[in-house]
Structure 1
């Protein structure tokens, strides 16, 4: 998606195009006098992040419904464990195909496909009378999650003005944690079948709203639909806004990219794209291998092991997650991506150390009265730190740094890595805890410390720059 026209004559010139793009880009994009953004930008973002809320509703469904589903359908623990974990496999499949779908049928089309899978999945769960339809439904909602996890942040980044891009893209993570928390709370009141029907609501809002919002202008430009591109961009920037400079930058960079060879999956690892792939994949590993899904999926058991009330602990956990994610969304375009990532990484290390010390004291039977307070402090510091930076920002950066010609393949790769990391963390957590409760959190602290070093060395600041500027600089 960045800018400049030039003729690519051979493979040697291919390597020189992006540095030329970097030199040609000017400080852009929205008419300087317009700091009041039209309501359609916010409405379009709201419609898109209904997909993020659906993501959270799918992820949060299994925790409050476990006992009721096992009792009603006479499921063994192994059968219910398959039901819970198959969501991740569906998400991996969704991640693999998400970029291709979003490139072929557009960002709106991909959201429709994802919504259809979620609707089918919830209906299958609602009518289930045994484990097989239950698992099929869960697999379908997982597929929808995998597509949403890629297409929503990409779509929001592509339609947002650069000064709002960070905050609007961070709403993706905010809506995910809101969906998880609401599902957990109302799942303790409603039946598991009723909760499945509630899961249809955000998809209904999304599908209805898609009729009233424009397609991504950058995707339209990439598909050669010049008139539709200008109409969509004008709608998003306001009828009186001067879009000529922004439109020219986007179109020029699309032309430049079209003259490059069409990338294959292995081409992502060429020198031209290697830095952006390394940044995105590295951030996804940092996000997942630092322990988040182990902590998130087994919060209740962690509090119980530490001797703290699981009900009080999980409610505080859910509320804190929503509040801190909201604060992160408000700060991301003021403070920047990199400072928030470093703050989050430091907090994750501290939270892991607090929790490790608590479990060490319990194992050694020393100062047992301090164990609950230390463990709760550690977990809350951990989830607060994750929520302010490490949860949302890897997705924001992923949506910003890939040129449009490789965004589908590269985004699918990054999303697949994220879901593989999520599975690996959640699968190994109980094994690690049975090995050593405090050793588990020491290991997570070490991984998060390595993540801090990775962020310092590799991750650029993307605040306040157009997508074209960023991609030209990183992929030079």
Structure 2
């Protein structure tokens, strides 16, 4: 996490002081390394929901295999693990929303300067945060493991039972056979892998990052005031993400995915219809409202289900000894899809009519 903070600080400095594309590209590459590291280290189940880094180097996403990963999952008590994971996602969405809103009020250089602050605070804060107890136990540093666990649970807490559970879990993991990527093609894993990979394909190739990154351009093309549209777009994600977190355990994963995918379908149809009408010289006012309705329907329903539920399902459908390898595979698929959609969206908007683009999504 400290290394990630340094990468991100270098990123913002490179962007802020840039005089041309080379410095901007350097900043984006540093951002890819930094966010790729920290998103998997802090909480891999939610990192890809934001799609916030289109240039993250793919091998960095596999860093979990090297560092033991998921800081939230490792430091949280069992009773709070789900809540902390949800809190992490809410903070991500909040950060994106705040950035969208602030970005409409200040220049991009000022926004880059503001971005340095949280990175610096994280770097300083890490000096007082203990190492993950589970990681310490995994590498055999028993005294440091107990000290770190007590720091997280409180000096008067009885940690003996939890410490024993952690040690037993680590021993169980070490005794299980290691699974390679080719082993995932075995019949016993095939259904789980197909579901996991399929969810990531549909999550990304439904066009989320194209709409997310180019919302301002879409509003402009549709004739809706881009600043107003962007602020509304940013603010709607937070309550819907919170709603999805509440409903996920109450109504089940599949019903939430049905609802979310249906809403995304309706949103894409509304957007496609909007640009089809614009091409045929329909009322500009109605077209603009239709575009706003389509984008809000899309992003709202995406936030409820398709944003987070696939990651929850991926964490639940694989056997314990397969999670690491399978998780790396589905994450690779997810980030490849994120890159592909982000890279092609602007070209497709320029080269073809937008109605065709949104109908394809």
User: Where does residue 138 of structure 2 map in the other structure?
Assistant: 222
User: Which of 277, 296, 317 is 2:212 aligned to?
Assistant: 296
1:377 deviation in Å? Answer: 1.0
Cα distance in 1 for partners of 2:148, 2:289 equals: 53
Q: Is the 8 A contact 2:13 2:113 kept in 1?
A: yes
User: For residues 146 and 212 of structure 1, do their structure 2 counterparts lie closer, same or farther at Cα, with a shift above 3 Å needed?
Assistant: same
Q: Does 1:306 align with 2:306?
A: no
Give the secondary structure class of the aligned counterpart of 1:199. Answer: helix
Q: Does 1:129 align with 2:46?
A: no
Give the secondary structure class of the aligned counterpart of 1:319. Answer: helix
**For 1:6-17, what aligned pairs fall within 5 Å after superposition?**
none
**For 1:103-122, what aligned pairs fall within 5 Å after superposition?**
111-122=1-12
1:350 deviation in Å? Answer: 2.0
User: Which of 32, 35, 52 is 1:145 aligned to?
Assistant: 35
User: Where does residue 253 of structure 1 map in the other structure?
Assistant: 169
Cα distance in 2 for partners of 1:176, 1:209 equals: 18
Q: Is the 8 A contact 2:264 2:298 kept in 1?
A: yes
User: Where does residue 425 of structure 1 map in the other structure?
Assistant: 341
User: For residues 147 and 403 of structure 1, do their structure 2 counterparts lie closer, same or farther at Cα, with a shift above 3 Å needed?
Assistant: farther
Q: Say which is worse superposed, 175-184 or 133-142, in terms of deviation.
A: 175-184
User: Where does residue 108 of structure 1 map in the other structure?
Assistant: none
Cα distance in 1 for partners of 2:124, 2:333 equals: 31
User: Where does residue 340 of structure 1 map in the other structure?
Assistant: 256
1:305 deviation in Å? Answer: 2.6
Q: How many residues align?
A: 334
User: Where does residue 233 of structure 2 map in the other structure?
Assistant: 317
Give the secondary structure class of the aligned counterpart of 2:176. Answer: coil
User: Which of 95, 117, 134 is 1:179 aligned to?
Assistant: 95
Q: Say which is worse superposed, 355-364 or 374-383, in terms of deviation.
A: 355-364
User: Where does residue 355 of structure 2 map in the other structure?
Assistant: 438
What is the TM-score when the length of structure 2 is the normalising length?
0.79
User: Where does residue 274 of structure 2 map in the other structure?
Assistant: 358
Q: Which has the higher contact order (CA 8 A, sep 6+)?
A: 1
Cα distance in 1 for partners of 2:290, 2:11 equals: 40
What is the TM-score when the length of structure 1 is the normalising length?
0.61
1:238 deviation in Å? Answer: 4.5
Give the secondary structure class of the aligned counterpart of 1:164. Answer: helix
1:243 deviation in Å? Answer: 4.7
Cα distance in 1 for partners of 2:141, 2:313 equals: 27
User: For residues 270 and 229 of structure 1, do their structure 2 counterparts lie closer, same or farther at Cα, with a shift above 3 Å needed?
Assistant: farther
1:274 deviation in Å? Answer: 4.7
Cα distance in 1 for partners of 2:326, 2:87 equals: 22
Cα displacement string for residues 252-289 of structure 1 (whole angstroms, at most 9, x for unaligned residues): 33223212344444344445655554444333222211
Give the secondary structure class of the aligned counterpart of 1:308. Answer: coil
Q: Is the 8 A contact 1:358 1:372 kept in 2?
A: yes
Cα distance in 2 for partners of 1:224, 1:404 equals: 21
1:116 deviation in Å? Answer: 1.8
User: Where does residue 201 of structure 1 map in the other structure?
Assistant: 117
1:208 deviation in Å? Answer: 2.4
Q: Is the 8 A contact 1:222 1:404 kept in 2?
A: no
1:398 deviation in Å? Answer: 4.4
User: For residues 200 and 273 of structure 1, do their structure 2 counterparts lie closer, same or farther at Cα, with a shift above 3 Å needed?
Assistant: farther
User: Where does residue 126 of structure 2 map in the other structure?
Assistant: 210
Cα displacement string for residues 29-70 of structure 1 (whole angstroms, at most 9, x for unaligned residues): xxxxxxxxxxxxxxxxxxxxxxxxxxxxxxxxxxxxxxxxxx
User: Where does residue 78 of structure 1 map in the other structure?
Assistant: none
User: For residues 269 and 343 of structure 1, do their structure 2 counterparts lie closer, same or farther at Cα, with a shift above 3 Å needed?
Assistant: same
User: For residues 189 and 182 of structure 1, do their structure 2 counterparts lie closer, same or farther at Cα, with a shift above 3 Å needed?
Assistant: same
Q: Is the 8 A contact 2:223 2:284 kept in 1?
A: no
Structure 1: gaps spanning 5 or more residues? 1-110, 445-476
Q: Does 1:160 align with 2:76?
A: yes
Give the secondary structure class of the aligned counterpart of 2:127. Answer: helix
**For 1:402-417, what aligned pairs fall within 5 Å after superposition?**
408-417=324-333
1:379 deviation in Å? Answer: 0.8
User: For residues 238 and 405 of structure 1, do their structure 2 counterparts lie closer, same or farther at Cα, with a shift above 3 Å needed?
Assistant: farther
Cα displacement string for residues 290-323 of structure 1 (whole angstroms, at most 9, x for unaligned residues): 1101111221222223222222111110111233
User: Where does residue 326 of structure 1 map in the other structure?
Assistant: 242
Cα distance in 2 for partners of 1:222, 1:354 equals: 51
